[in-house]
Amino acid sequence: MDGHIDKLTIAGQSIRHDSALAHCTGDAKFVDDIPEVPGTLHAALVLSEVARGKLLALHTDKARAMPGVVAILDPKDIPGHNDVSPTHRGGEPLFVETDILHFGQALAMVVATTRDAALLAARAVTADVEVLTPILSVAESLAANDLLMDPMVMVNGDPDAALAASPLRLSGEFSCGGQEHFYLEGQICLAVPGEDGDFALYSSTQHPTEVQHITGGVLGCDYNRLSVHVRRLGGGFGGKESNASWVAAVAALGAYHTGKPVKFRMPRKTDMAVTGKRHPFLFRWDVGFDESGRIHAVDALMAADGGHTLDLSTGVLFRAVTHAMNVMAVPNLRVDGRVLRTNTVSNTAFRGFGGPQGVVLSEEIIRHVAKHLGRSPEAVRERNFAGEANGTLTPYGQKLEGDLIRRVWDETKDLSNWESRRAAVDAFNAAHTWKKRGLGSFVLAFGISFGVQAMNQAGALVHVYADGSIRLNHGGTEMGQGLFIKIAQVVAETFGVPLARVRITATSTAEVPNTSPTAASTGTDLNGWAARIAALAVKERMIKVAAEQWGVEPDDIEMSDDEVRSGNHRMRFSELAKLCLAKRVQLSAAGHYKTPGLSWDPKAMRGEPFFYFTYGASVAEVEIDTLTGEYRCLGAWLVEDCGRSLNPAVDLGQIEGAFVQGMGWLTTEELFWDKQGRLRTLGPSTYKIPGSRDVPEVFEVRLLEGAPARADTIFRSKAVGEPPLMLATCVWNALIDAAGVASMDIPATPERVLMAMSAHK
């Protein structure tokens, strides 16, 4: 199946985001902008104030008597299953029955005539709780061996023997923290009851099908009674993959009991308290190497903080383990991946999905080996690049393209003027006592596909109307990343019509069922192919009509520039559509696509789980105030492999945004729980996401030109959503370089930088 077209007329152009003007003017409609019909009710949660305990009793009388309160619902009011877990192992209740497992866990819900009334009544509900001591750290849970799943261990070669035989050996330990998604639009759902037990759910979700499934399980009804609609999200970043499902279930449960539309929108502090984060990790590693910098063996433990239930931790750990060595070929390796239980929110998907935690392990090892040998991290990394000299296979047996690894790195060095910049940084440091500069780099190979094979599929629906206009629907969700405009470009290109002819419509389970989440950087890959397959089916029928009309062969028909042509024959696309209608030809088709060639043996940890790899490299320069630990990122230079980009303008925006978001995780965004297990970073006053002044002063991004691309990706493009986030790892490396230390836990906050420098002195 070839997605390539020799002459691209729409795909590959820098066409603006379909909602750009609407976003800027405020005309873009989100769930909270849907007009409320008379009688619409509002929901709020009753939350636990302890992190661990036994629920003895819930007192609701005072709340029930408050003005505007319509209903208070708890576990006994759930007609189906009190389980909102996205995994088959279950165990995540919508409302606590007995065991309280984290601060902010939902005990019940209030439905009232106004949102303020619901929030006030929810605070008036009190609980009798037997308070227990929470487990809050990965290290403590690891010591107790409290696992949420069986260990995931990837072994290649003989790491024990290779470590014992290595001329040189080092070991170490470090950690990385979690990250709050901080989407601008918070979690929200409007549930509208219809006839005969039907419900329409207007949800801010990355996974409409899971919203349908989880809500169906809670209500105890068939999925065909629930239609989920998503026009756009105000940001998701993985936080609206599994978490949005239980949010929708809350709204639907309220609508089920009251027979009225119910909107559930959480305040920012509540949203941050009750939704999952990026997984924090604890790393312990042992490396064997020689004087040339060649790494012979690595034995590593990657312990993830899963929170109180499993959620999507299996997939996160899979990607962390498979990306642990990143671009390096290490002949002898053991990576022991574990997910630990703690009394915090259940951690979940976040842009990169374990990849960011995986790649920092190899960077930490590279840095220590380099420091021990008195060499640069860049020299050690290059010495171990996957390629002909060191082997091309990942530890699990999939091929890496060593030439592309070296190419993105070489182009980034050129873009950043690496050699002269390194000399300038060294000269600056020699001349300054209280200011120090650092230079850091990073190279990435990121696998594209869902780790669960069944999720690598998508559906789309294409209609051509009698006037030649086209309606497009697919299973992907638009959350600002430009997915809708890219898929519309694919359909317009397929029919050879202007983009304006293609009408983009809201994602809906009523139109395209059984879809995968818009996640794992697969949105365009999967939905683009599904839409193209549907469009090609309609196009083939239309071409047959034109061929019969003109008495020519179908292969002689060309569709482009809003026309249909063959020799001296031509007609407008709209004229052909009208002719097809007169000939009683179906102008609608559903397309389905499944990613080919994937394989994975979870027991052996072997196979080819990724459709392809995308490559990138980055360099950053920072400056530290040694008296305070404060710092600035003076510049960043990035090269990203997007294959043949469908939309360079959109892709450049994604790369820039992902890099800054990655900087946030690595430098400023710190989650803090007190000793009682209460999350204290519950808003922008205590939780620092990057601002405009945190963006690198010099920020140069380049798409890899003439990148070799597979013929079986959509129009030979490559994914861009997640990989650039990991390119921000160069900033972490630059801060460590400037501080003159070998290691620093993540996030490298100014306080942590200052403490590291003080300890080093």
Percent share of the chain, pLDDT over 70: 98
Closest CA to 634 of 648, 646, 620: 620
Per-residue model confidence (pLDDT) at position 516: 97
Per-residue model confidence (pLDDT) at position 760: 82
First to last CA, the chain: 60
Where b means 16+ CB within 10 Å and e means fewer, 707-739 reads bebeebbbbbbbbbbbbbbbbbbbbbbbbbbbb
Does the pLDDT value for residue 8 go beyond 60? no
Residue 225 sits in the same domain as residue 315:
no
Determine how many CB atoms are found less than 10 A away from the CB of residue 223.
16
Per-residue model confidence (pLDDT) at position 12: 72
Which of the listed residues 566, 594, 622 is the one where a domain comes to its end?
Answer: 594
Q: Mapping DSSP to helix (H, G, I), strand (E, B) and coil, where does residue 462 land?
A: strand
CA dist 670 and 705 (Å) reads 37
Domain that holds residue 528: 20-28+457-594
Burial (CB count within 10 angstroms: exposed 0-12, middle 13-18, buried 19+), residue 634? middle
Closest CA to 352 of 9, 664, 759: 664
Q: Which residues, 6 or more positions from 300, have their beta carbon under 8 angstroms from its beta carbon?
A: 283, 284, 285, 286, 324, 334, 335, 336, 361
> Does residue 705 have an active-site annotation?
no
Q: Is residue 125 part of a domain?
A: yes
Determine how many CB atoms are found less than 10 A away from the CB of residue 194.
11
Residue 437 sits in the same domain as residue 370:
yes
pLDDT tens, position by position, 490-513: 999 999 999 999 999 999 999 999
Residue 644 sits in the same domain as residue 671:
yes
Residue 51 sits in the same domain as residue 191:
yes
CA dist 632 and 62 (Å) reads 52
In sign, the C-alpha dihedral spanning 232, 233, 235, 237 is negative
200: tokens are 């329409």
Residue 515 sits in the same domain as residue 568:
yes
CA dist 101 and 52 (Å) reads 5
Per-residue model confidence (pLDDT) at position 38: 95
Residue 560 sits in the same domain as residue 665:
no
Confidence bin at 753 (pLDDT 50/70/90): very high
Residue 582 sits in the same domain as residue 618:
no
Per-residue model confidence (pLDDT) at position 761: 76
Residue type, 590: A
Measured CA distances, 72 to 45, 49, 127, 137 (Å): 10, 18, 14, 35
pLDDT tens, position by position, 538-567: 999 999 999 999 999 999 999 999 999 999
485: tokens are 């405009």
- Average pLDDT of the residues in 699-719: 92
Q: Is residue 249 part of a domain?
A: yes
Q: What are phi and psi of 299, to 5 degrees?
A: -125, 115
Q: Is residue 122 part of a domain?
A: yes
Residue 348 sits in the same domain as residue 262:
no
Per-residue model confidence (pLDDT) at position 709: 74
Per-residue model confidence (pLDDT) at position 738: 98
Mean pLDDT of the chain: 96
Cα 273 to chain centroid, rounded:
20
Confidence bin at 527 (pLDDT 50/70/90): very high
Does the pLDDT value for residue 5 go beyond 80? no
Per-residue model confidence (pLDDT) at position 124: 98
- Average pLDDT of the residues in 609-620: 98
Q: Which residues, 6 or more positions from 305, have their beta carbon under 8 angstroms from its beta carbon?
A: 138, 141, 178, 279, 280, 281, 282, 340, 342, 344, 347
Which of the listed residues 594, 616, 651 is the one where a domain comes to its end?
Answer: 594
Q: What is the value of pTM for the model shown? A: 0.97
Does the pLDDT value for residue 668 go beyond 50? yes
pLDDT tens, position by position, 383-401: 999 998 899 999 999 999 9
Q: Is residue 171 part of a domain?
A: no
Q: Mapping DSSP to helix (H, G, I), strand (E, B) and coil, where does residue 701 land?
A: strand
DSSP E strands in 659-697: the ranges are: none
638: tokens are 């990035």
Here the CATH number for the domain that contains residue 529 is 3.30.365.10
Closest CA to 598 of 455, 716, 742: 455
Q: What are phi and psi of 173, to 5 degrees?
A: -150, 140
Per-residue model confidence (pLDDT) at position 14: 76
Q: Is residue 445 part of a domain?
A: yes
Closest CA to 442 of 745, 663, 192: 663
Confidence bin at 13 (pLDDT 50/70/90): confident
pLDDT tens, position by position, 458-490: 999 999 999 999 999 999 999 999 999 999 999
Q: Is residue 107 part of a domain?
A: yes
- Average pLDDT of the residues in 285-308: 98
4: tokens are 């390539």
C-alpha dihedral, 498 to 499 to 500 to 505, nearest 10°: 140
Length reported for the chain: 761
302: tokens are 């990657």
- Average pLDDT of the residues in 223-250: 98
Residue type, 22: A
- Average pLDDT of the residues in 574-598: 98
| Parallel/antiparallel/unpaired status of strands 558-560 and 563-566 | antiparallel
Does the pLDDT value for residue 10 go beyond 70? no
User: Could you tell me if 304 and 329 are in contact, meaning their C-beta atoms sit under 8 angstroms apart?
Assistant: no
pLDDT tens, position by position, 307-356: 999 999 999 999 999 999 999 999 999 999 999 999 999 999 999 999 99
Q: Is residue 105 part of a domain?
A: yes
Tokens 């239930």 belong to residue: 309
Which of the listed residues 274, 303, 330 is the one where a domain comes to its end?
Answer: 274
Q: Is residue 174 part of a domain?
A: no
Residue 384 sits in the same domain as residue 290:
yes
Residue 447 sits in the same domain as residue 484:
no
| Parallel/antiparallel/unpaired status of strands 126-131 and 168-176 | unpaired
Burial (CB count within 10 angstroms: exposed 0-12, middle 13-18, buried 19+), residue 514? middle
274: tokens are 């009750």
Domain count, the chain: 3
Residue 309 sits in the same domain as residue 382:
yes
Cα 375 to chain centroid, rounded:
35
Q: Mapping DSSP to helix (H, G, I), strand (E, B) and coil, where does residue 614 land?
A: strand
Determine how many CB atoms are found less than 10 A away from the CB of residue 702.
16
Does the pLDDT value for residue 35 go beyond 60? yes
pLDDT tens, position by position, 74-104: 999 999 999 999 986 668 999 999 999 999 9
Which of 49, 540, 722, 751 is the catalytic position? 722
Confidence bin at 306 (pLDDT 50/70/90): very high
Tokens 């999905």 belong to residue: 353
Does the pLDDT value for residue 6 go beyond 50? no
C-alpha dihedral, 419 to 425 to 426 to 430, nearest 10°: 160
Per-residue model confidence (pLDDT) at position 155: 98
Q: Which residues, 6 or more positions from 761, have their beta carbon under 8 angstroms from its beta carbon?
A: none
Residue 726 sits in the same domain as residue 607:
yes
Per-residue model confidence (pLDDT) at position 2: 43
